[in-house]
Amino acid sequence: MFQKWHLFTPGPVPVAPEVLLAGARPTPHHRLPEFSAVLSEIREDLQYLFQTRRPVFFFASSGTGAMEAAVANLFSPGERVLVVRGGKFGERWGEIAEAYGLQPVYLDIPWGEAVSPEAVERALSENPGVAAILLQAHETSTGVKHPVREVAEVAHRAGALVVVDAISALGVYPLPMDEWGLDVVVAGSQKSLALPPGLSFVALSERAWERVEKAESPRYYFDLRREWKAYQKETTAYTPAVSLLLSLRESLQLIRKIGLERLFAHYALVSRACREGVLALGLEIFPRVPCEALTMVKLPEGVDGGALTRLLRKRYGVVLAGGQGQLKGKVVRITHMGHQSPLEGVLALSALEVGLSELGWPVKIGAGVARALEIIREHAEEVYA
Amino acid sequence: MFQKWHLFTPGPVPVAPEVLLAGARPTPHHRLPEFSAVLSEIREDLQYLFQTRRPVFFFASSGTGAMEAAVANLFSPGERVLVVRGGKFGERWGEIAEAYGLQPVYLDIPWGEAVSPEAVERALSENPGVAAILLQAHETSTGVKHPVREVAEVAHRAGALVVVDAISALGVYPLPMDEWGLDVVVAGSQKSLALPPGLSFVALSERAWERVEKAESPRYYFDLRREWKAYQKETTAYTPAVSLLLSLRESLQLIRKIGLERLFAHYALVSRACREGVLALGLEIFPRVPCEALTMVKLPEGVDGGALTRLLRKRYGVVLAGGQGQLKGKVVRITHMGHQSPLEGVLALSALEVGLSELGWPVKIGAGVARALEIIREHAEEVYA
């Protein structure tokens, strides 16, 4: 009975039972008025989540699909875009841009470091005619949080749009689309929305929308012109992922009930507690500017990340993510997103301590957890009152 | 998304998703051959769990129903039985015996203490003609574990049967029915079987069965003669709780897959870790002889159990049980039964530490968790390998 999973991976994340059950209902027909009512509700709640008055579109696809939708709908072959590249998902922006025949200019930064607004400003002035800057709110492969607001200001001054992959950021910390003037925001279902994978989201500012009619990139499934027509008729262009949308409605209702402010405060608290717990163990946090969605732990010399994640999974059912690309084997990631209670990160930290000890690293068992609990103890009343 | 429950109550307990899903299937008809096959499977696996070759009967009822079945099927009005009474469930044996017009002789022990075989021997010799001794494997209201094996030896020497309420004990620690010669063993679904409430179980030794034909207590729903007839025809006397039985089949399969030995080792380890964690906080364990199913923490002077359980439930989703009867407000109970991973008890301990601190008790946050983790670290390899 003790064979139970605790997911601390950056997608999929734990899903609340009421959300799963909503998706387990018999599939309604997606062209009936009853389903249009569901869509209207979802669309309104998505605007709340995106903090925008603009329509939010969704696709049956992974988050990458919505990234592609952003590129295909905004740009034409030969156009120049600035790509912030300091991890696997920055690379992905570049790959999509190249696949569509754009001319990406790369702003390369070392893995683990955040882009600076100054570097963006310099790159934009050195590369006139860049249509947009493509970046991540945070780079999930390194845990680094980029200064999106400041980058947006710099980009707008240079006349460039700002396209933000917020797949594992939206709903975790503030990214108010309208207030910050973000031109494209992309999201996914299996992150802070705490749903199974299979849905992606994209919203465009008015300025970005003006490009949609003119862009010459080929597109069909991800064509936002078709989706916008369908949107106005309270339906979708193609068959939507109905069961996931029923779950989404439930999840968005939970988010509204809790409120974005409290949700942000929760993630800020648990991520800080986990980070300080890791530091108290004498370990290092990998990213210079850590995000609130996950804690990325630099493993000590001699400890193999693969062996550690395997041990924790098999023995304790605790599923941490390893590193990607050049970080493979060198880090583990503890994700805070999804249906996790305030003290659940402590369980991940417990597993990390015990696991490191079992692998022969001299850990002072309990030291990390103690520090994390102290921080939660100090702030829980204001966050969860 | 952080509003999530962690049940550490002594029933209901967390239920595995595959077990819940098994019970969510469309209800099959209980008189068809397909369902008889399910019953045969369940009955065989129940014999494994009870460690007996005797038939194990089940009822759609709470555990109390099976306690009543034991009394109604074995005894006649006016018969004398010895009742071990040192908590709420010992009292319940007495109440049922009185309801059926038996003459219970009470062996009263202070709450928190285990019965001694010597005291049983004395009571039996002072009360000749006692047909049986009725006791708990452990008294869930005090967390005390009784020496069932030794009591059984003493009772048999005196010619008395041994009737054991193992509702929250079976599957937690060894209680081999045939090997120890236990005459009646009673169990319930919402404990170590890790099912929702609604099913109870009872098995009788051959010696106990001889009484069933002769017993003059009135009974109908709980009449084991009818159930035995139905059992032989691979069915049940009355409509069974079909969905719970489908879940039961799944749960029993999980138990067989894990194996009783490993399950016992798991409970022994997590209960020991939790107990020593509590002691490391400077708190006391209430029962003199603690059982492996739950850890019963004596609260320090000035800390109200009701306030503590309320705070932990509301703020952290951690549901501990308070005290019953004379222990109300004075203890909290952390249950280890059910679908809980090896490190999940640490989450309960974390909550206890933080909660006590929030209520003003000077707790050294992390000290209990550290001790618990050290013990798990030390033994996890042998238990969960």
Average pLDDT over residues A325-346: 96
| Whether B234 contacts chain A with CB within 8 A | no
Peptide bond into B197 cis (omega under 30): no
Q: Are strands A103-108 and A80-85 parallel, antiparallel or unpaired?
A: parallel
B367 contacts on A by Cβ (under 8 Å): 366, 370
Which residue ranges make up each domain of chain A? 17-258, 259-384
Q: What is the CATH number of domain B259-384?
A: 3.90.1150.10
| Contact (CB<8Å) A365/B346 | no
pLDDT digits (tens, 9 = 90+) for A207-217: 999 999 999 99
Question: Which pLDDT belongs to residue B385?
Answer: 82
- Chain A segment 177-196 residues within 8 A of B by beta carbon are 192, 194
Contact (Cβ atoms closer than 8 angstroms) between residue A49 and residue A176:
no
Residue in B263, B318, B354 nearest the CB of A376: B354
Average pLDDT over residues B155-164: 98
Residue in A4, A314, A384 nearest the CB of B315: A384
DSSP three-state, residue B238: coil
pLDDT of residue B33 exceeding 80: yes
Nearest to A290 by CA among A343, A322, A226, A335: A335
Residue in B255, B341, B366 nearest the CB of A373: B366
pLDDT of residue A346 exceeding 80: yes
| Whether B119 contacts chain A with CB within 8 A | no
Give the count of beta carbons closer than 10 Å to the beta carbon of residue B125: 11
Contact (Cβ atoms closer than 8 angstroms) between residue A138 and residue A286:
no
Instruction: Name residues whose C-beta falls within 8 Å of residue A333's C-beta, 6 or more positions apart in sequence.
Output: A8, A9, A10, A143, A294, A295, A296, A297, A320, A321, A322, A323
Which residue type sits at B208?
A
| Contact (CB<8Å) B16/A2 | no
Residue of A nearest to B370 (CA): A366
pLDDT of residue A194 exceeding 70: yes
Contact (Cβ atoms closer than 8 angstroms) between residue A194 and residue A188:
no
Give the count of beta carbons closer than 10 Å to the beta carbon of residue B126: 10
Nearest to A356 by CA among A278, A271, A276: A278
pLDDT digits (tens, 9 = 90+) for B269-309: 999 999 999 999 999 999 999 999 999 999 999 999 999 99
Distance of residue B313 Cα from the nearest chain A Cα, in angstroms: 11
* C-alpha distance from residue A342 to each of A276, A321, A337, A381, B156 (Å): 15, 20, 11, 12, 52
| Contact (CB<8Å) A346/B341 | no
| CA atoms of A372 and A349, how far apart (whole Å) | 9
Which residue type sits at A229?
K
Q: pLDDT grade, residue A290 (50/70/90)?
A: very high
Percentages helix, strand, coil for chain B (3-state, rounded to 5) are 45, 15, 35
| Contact (CB<8Å) B354/A343 | yes
Listing DSSP states for B154-213 in one string gives HHHHTT-EEEEE-TTTBTTB---HHHHT-SEEEEETTSTT---S-EEEEEE-HHHHHHHH
- Pick among B19, B350, B353 to test the A interface (most A CBs inside 10 A): B350
Question: Which pLDDT belongs to residue B223?
Answer: 98
CATH of the structural domain A17-258, one choice from 3.40.640.10, 2.40.50.1020, 1.20.120.160, 3.20.20.370: 3.40.640.10
pLDDT of residue B113 exceeding 90: yes
- Token match 């919402």: residue? B190
| Contact (CB<8Å) B358/A377 | yes
Long-range contact set of residues A51-54: C-beta below 8 Å, sequence gap at least 24: A51/A175, A51/A176, A51/A177, A51/A178, A51/A179, A51/A260, A52/A177, A52/A178, A52/A185, A52/A203, A53/A178, A54/A177, A54/A178, A54/A203, A54/A204, A54/A205, A54/A206, A54/A209
Which residue type sits at A217?
S
pLDDT of residue A35 exceeding 80: yes
Q: Where are the beta strands (DSSP E) in chain B?
A: 6-8, 56-60, 80-85, 103-108, 132-136, 138-139, 144-145, 161-165, 184-188, 199-204, 284-285, 294-298, 318-320, 331-335
* Of the candidate ranges A24-28, A41-45, B132-136, the one whose mean pLDDT is the lowest: A24-28
pLDDT digits (tens, 9 = 90+) for B70-83: 999 999 999 999 99
The rounded radius of gyration (Å) of the Cα atoms in chain B is 21
Question: Which pLDDT belongs to residue A1?
Answer: 67
| Contact (CB<8Å) A347/B351 | no
pLDDT of residue A351 exceeding 80: yes
Q: Are strands A284-285 and B6-8 parallel, antiparallel or unpaired?
A: unpaired
| CA atoms of B321 and B328, how far apart (whole Å) | 10
pLDDT of residue A366 exceeding 70: yes
pLDDT digits (tens, 9 = 90+) for B51-62: 999 999 999 999
DSSP three-state, residue B236: coil
In this structure, is the dihedral angle defined by the CA atoms of residues A50, A54, A57 and A62, taken in order, positive or negative?
negative
pLDDT digits (tens, 9 = 90+) for A242-273: 999 999 999 999 999 999 999 999 999 999 99
Q: Are strands A331-335 and B6-8 parallel, antiparallel or unpaired?
A: unpaired
* C-alpha distance from residue A208 to each of A81, A294, B64, B81, B381 (Å): 14, 30, 67, 84, 57
Distance of residue A288 Cα from the nearest chain B Cα, in angstroms: 27
A1 contacts on B by Cβ (under 8 Å): 16, 192, 194, 251, 254-255, 258, 263, 338-340
| CA atoms of B71 and B87, how far apart (whole Å) | 19
Question: Which pLDDT belongs to residue A211?
Answer: 98
Q: pLDDT grade, residue B2 (50/70/90)?
A: confident
CA torsion angle for A175, A178, A180, A182 (degrees, to 10)?
80
- Chain A segment 287-316 residues within 8 A of B by beta carbon are 314-316
What percentage of residues in chain B have a pLDDT greater than 90? 99
Contact (Cβ atoms closer than 8 angstroms) between residue B201 and residue B66:
yes
pLDDT of residue B36 exceeding 90: yes
**Mean confidence (pLDDT) of chain B:** 97
A254 contacts on B by Cβ (under 8 Å): 1, 3
Question: Which pLDDT belongs to residue A361?
Answer: 96
pLDDT of residue B104 exceeding 90: yes
- Token match 């405060």: residue? A265
Q: pLDDT grade, residue A385 (50/70/90)?
A: confident
Question: Which pLDDT belongs to residue B179?
Answer: 98
pLDDT of residue B227 exceeding 80: yes
Contact (Cβ atoms closer than 8 angstroms) between residue B369 and residue A372:
no
Q: pLDDT grade, residue A2 (50/70/90)?
A: confident
What percentage of residues in chain A have a pLDDT greater than 90? 99
pLDDT digits (tens, 9 = 90+) for A300-326: 999 999 999 999 999 999 999 999 999
Query: Could you give the residue ranges of the DSSP H alpha helices within B186-297?
Result: 206-214, 224-232, 242-258, 260-280
Residue B207 is labelled as binding a ligand: no
pLDDT digits (tens, 9 = 90+) for A69-85: 999 999 999 999 999 99
Average pLDDT over residues B161-188: 98
Q: Which residues partner with A136 through β-bridges?
A: A165
